[in-house]
Every structure is written in C-alpha cells, then in structure tokens.
Amino acid sequence: MKISDFLSAANVTVGAVLSSKQELLEEMARKAALAVNMPLDRILSELLKRETLGSTGVGGGVALPHARFPEIDKPLGILFRLKKPIVFDAVDEKPVDTAFLLLLPEASDPLGALAGIARKLRDKAVMAALRRARDSAEVYRILTAD
C-alpha cells in the first residue's frame, strides 16, 4: 500500500500552532471526523484509548496515533507538522513536531499502512526535507514520492 492510497494533499497541515498532545489529537480527530463523517468524540476517544496502551510517539520528533473503526472501509491518513514541537511522551522523551494520524478499517491488517508510513518517517533525509518544506503541497510531494 502506498501512502498516496490513504493520504490526500488536503489532509496535510503545515505550521499548526498547538500546545499539547491533547490539543493535537483533538485537532487531528476533528479533521478526521469531517473526512470520514463520524463523530469527533468517537474518534478522539479511540485515539486516547490507544495512547493509554503506550505512547504513539515513536521518537525522532514523530508520532503515529492510530485507531481502528468498523465504520470506515479504507485507511485515512492525516499529517500535521507543528510550528513548535510539543511534549508527547514519546519513547525517546523528545518533543514531537510531526504527527501522522492513521484511521483503519477494523477488518484490515494495520501493519501494512502503519509500517509504510513509519518507514518513511524514520528516514532522516525524508524528515529533514519535511521539516524544510514550506507548505503542505511540498510536504505531500515528499511523503508520496517513491
């Protein structure tokens, strides 16, 4: 599965000004709720439930919040690049400036989409390019390039 299969250019936000993990998850859930026509509270609740299992802050300034829903039939990705990093309880204890939300159908294998985006965001050259990108269109091009 390619990133462009579940991420659209419209779902990339650059320069978001948010001050906490909670606020970031709320904003991402708000955008996702509109995209999949689901209640914001339902999405946010599942994201927060997943965070109680362990932080989705994977290190290197990156978080990969995710949840599964029976109501959706295909994966949805949303990326936020923050203006200033925030505390996210990441595994490396460093703040997060890039978060990629992934909503998955309940019946799907989450590893394909999650592994693909994790691989891309662990690449130091990709992350350096994402952090230099001036706008969401440039971020989208970088993420979806093969």
Q: Would you please indicate which residues are annotated as catalytic (active-site) residues?
A: 66
Write the DSSP assignment of 56-96 as a string of letters: -EEETTEE--EEEETT-SS-EEEEEEEEEEE----TT---E
Please give the Cα distance from 80 to 108 (Å, whole number).
24
Residue 48 CB coordination number (10 Å): 16
Contact between 133 and 5 (Cβ < 8 Å):
no
Contact between 116 and 3 (Cβ < 8 Å):
yes
